[in-house]
A = this chain, B = another copy of it.
Amino acid sequence: MPDTALDSDPHAEAAKPTECQLRHAIELLFFAYRDFTGEADAILAAYGFGRAHHRVIYFVGINPGITVGELLSILKITKQSLSRVLGQLIDENFVLQGTDADDRRRRRLTLSDQGRELEAKLTAVQSARIAAAFDLAGDAAVTGFRTVLRGIINPDDRHRVAAGDGEAE
């Protein structure tokens, strides 16, 4: 039973993509990521923040109590790079620092009310864009979108995003 372009079996092996199709995917990623981050960048600019602040706010938001070290391993940047950004967010009261009860070397990071508010605003614009694209594309397309993006991520980091349909965690 040979595969065809109309075969919708999600476990089918893909036909070998042409160079043109691969270039198309490269361009889709470039333009989609640029526009995906564009609106949030504009909101951040009003606060004097940039994309790096957003990433910290986002990952502290979904991982309340995360330590500095864990944040570094998610973001894959240096301690010194994070320091500037995180320091500003703490100084301006978007992120709160606590101390771990068991290991007092560890700082536990959480969002302040102000931080949660900004996080919600940023996630709202990005979610709205994605929700619109999902609605236009349909459920089957959404599943494919997730499967391919997950396959692009380094295997070592795939555990950072839920498998399957995004319901887990």
* Chain A residues within 8 Å of B, Cβ to Cβ: 3, 5, 7-36, 38, 55, 58, 62, 76, 123, 126-127, 129-154, 157, 160-162, 165-167, 169
Contact call B9/A157, Cβ cutoff below 8 A: no
Mostly helix, strand, loop or mixed at chain A's interface? helix
* A13 to B139 Cα, complex, angstroms: 7
Known interface pairs A26-B58, A35-B152, A132-B151; A141-B21 also in contact (CB < 8 Å): no
Query: Within the oligomer, what is the number of copies of this chain?
Result: 2
Task: State which of B13, B139, B151, B162 has its C-beta within 8 Å of the C-beta of A12.
Answer: B139
Contacts of A166 in B (CB 8 A): 18, 20-21, 23-25
Q: What is the chain B residue whose CB lies nearest that of A145?
A: B148
Task: State which of B135, B136, B152 has its C-beta within 8 Å of the C-beta of A129.
Answer: B152
* A14 to B3 Cα, complex, angstroms: 26
Contacts of A9 in B (CB 8 A): 138, 140
Contact call A7/B169, Cβ cutoff below 8 A: no
Contact call B14/A135, Cβ cutoff below 8 A: yes
- In this complex, which of A8, A58, A149, A161 has the most chain B Cβ atoms within 10 angstroms of its Cβ? A149
Contact call A161/B31, Cβ cutoff below 8 A: yes
Task: State which of B55, B135, B144, B167 has its C-beta within 8 Å of the C-beta of A13.
Answer: B135
